[in-house]
């Protein structure tokens, strides 16, 4: 066994069906009584229902959480939180809402209760990404790690087909990069392989399986998302996440779809330099070629598999490659502009990795 360092993250995790009902007691458990509920505009209805459930423990609701966590939205939400004198945050939704909760916590140190409705995994990490002036930056700080995560399987049952798949593949990306991260360790390796396996088996059943099997598959997918998110929270990020943050922050491409498209190409890029890690990915997928297996999974489930489909302009690929190599970051394979440009061109065209 090689020497390693492992830091466990201090989050309380509640997993099951119908667990949303536990929000009021979790607010009280934190010693709080003036919660601000956060959602996107699309989930405002669910936020209002949650506010009704919470009753007098909620003093307000903010329904303008936005993809890539733009700082002007955070300014607005922080202003409301201060005006209402809130003492905790309750974020109901996917990565956009969870990101906003983290951004508010970063500035105010308010405790967070997070209720994920997708497989984004951000809820399990002390990582925050924010966008300002067309540039998305990330930082890692325990100030943004949610104190409580409530996973309610029933909240994922109506997750749209495309979001189910892209959100799930986004989660798989967290586990893949954890396997070749600088801080990789045997505990996270096991969790990463478990997360990849759970999601890869569950997603096809959720989308195309028999009705009686879907609830169990949704449960397995949400469990896998937690496992993958925990991996991302415990170790660092590499090429895949750097490229996705560049494409999302600068070119405003949708988060989960971008992760879905870039992942197989990032795996192929790193494969010769991280053979053991990529072999674990392949084994978890039940395949010989990890990059091709991820590509085939996405394409086979009918989600976008090219940047072109997302509206990315071919002439912007050069700029994206320039941004991606600007600041050095850990990655198994050397970060070479021309190789990165080829990766982006293959992703843009939707080519199957070799």
Q: Which domains does the chain have, with CATH numbers?
A: 12-156 (3.40.50.1970), 161-349 (1.20.1090.10)
pLDDT(40) > 90: yes
**Residue 287 confidence (pLDDT):** 97
Digit-coded pLDDT (tens) for 4-39: 787 778 889 999 999 999 999 999 999 999 999 999
Digit-coded pLDDT (tens) for 254-265: 989 999 999 999
Give the model's confidence band at 3: pLDDT under 50 very low, under 70 low, under 90 confident, else very high. confident
Helical axes 186-208 vs 290-300, angle rounded to 10°? 30
CA–CA distances in Å: residue 215 to residues 37, 118, 210? 27, 15, 10
Give the model's confidence band at 140: pLDDT under 50 very low, under 70 low, under 90 confident, else very high. confident
Digit-coded pLDDT (tens) for 177-188: 999 998 999 999
pTM of structure: 0.90
pLDDT(328) > 80: no
Q: Single out the residue of 173, 124, 212 nearest to residue 298, CA to CA.
A: 173
Q: Please, what sign has the CA dihedral across residues 312, 313, 317, 318? A: negative
Digit-coded pLDDT (tens) for 55-78: 999 999 999 999 889 999 999 999
- The percentage of residues in the chain with a pLDDT greater than 90, rounded to a whole number, is 83
User: Mean pLDDT score of the chain, rounded to an integer?
Assistant: 94
**Residue 1 confidence (pLDDT):** 65
């Amino acid at each position: 066994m090689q020497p390693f360092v492992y830091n466990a993250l201090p989050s309380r995790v509640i997993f099951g069906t119908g667990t949303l009902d536990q929000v009021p007691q979790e607010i009280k458990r934190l010693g709080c009584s003036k919660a601000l509920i956060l959602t996107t505009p699309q989930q405002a209805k669910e936020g209002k229902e949650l506010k009704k459930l919470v009753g007098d423990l909620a003093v307000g609701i903010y329904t303008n959480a936005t993809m890539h966590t733009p700082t002007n939205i955070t300014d607005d939400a922080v202003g409301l939180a201060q005006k209402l004198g809130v003492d905790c945050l309750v974020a109901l939704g996917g990565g956009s809402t969870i990101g906003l909760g983290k951004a508010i916590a970063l500035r105010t140190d308010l405790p967070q209760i997070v209720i994920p409705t997708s497989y984004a995994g951000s809820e399990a990490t002390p990582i925050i990404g924010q966008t300002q002036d067309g540039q998305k930056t990330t930082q890692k700080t325990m100030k943004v790690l949610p104190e409580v995560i409530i996973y309610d399987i029933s909240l994922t049952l109506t997750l749209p087909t495309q979001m189910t798949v892209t959100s799930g593949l986004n989660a798989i990306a967290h586990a893949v990069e954890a396997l070749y991260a600088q801080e990789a360790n045997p505990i996270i390796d096991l969790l990463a392989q478990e997360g990849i396996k759970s999601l890869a088996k569950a997603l096809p059943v959720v989308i195309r399986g028999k009705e009686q099997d879907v609830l169990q598959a949704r449960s397995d997918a949400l469990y896998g998302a937690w496992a993958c998110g925990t991996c991302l929270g415990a170790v660092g990020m590499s090429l895949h996440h750097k490229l996705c943050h560049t494409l999302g922050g600068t070119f405003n491409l949708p988060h989960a779809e971008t992760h879905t498209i870039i992942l197989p190409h990032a795996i192929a890029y790193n494969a010769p330099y991280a053979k053991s890690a990529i072999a674990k990915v392949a084994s978890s997928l039940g395949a010989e070629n990890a990059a091709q297996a991820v590509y085939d999974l996405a394409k086979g489930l009918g989600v976008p598999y090219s940047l072109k489909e997302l509206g990315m302009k071919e002439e912007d690929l050069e700029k994206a490659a320039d941004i991606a190599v600007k600041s050095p970051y850990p990655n198994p394979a050397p970060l070479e502009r021309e190789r990165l440009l080829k990766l982006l061109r293959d992703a843009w065209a939707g080519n199957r990795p070799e």
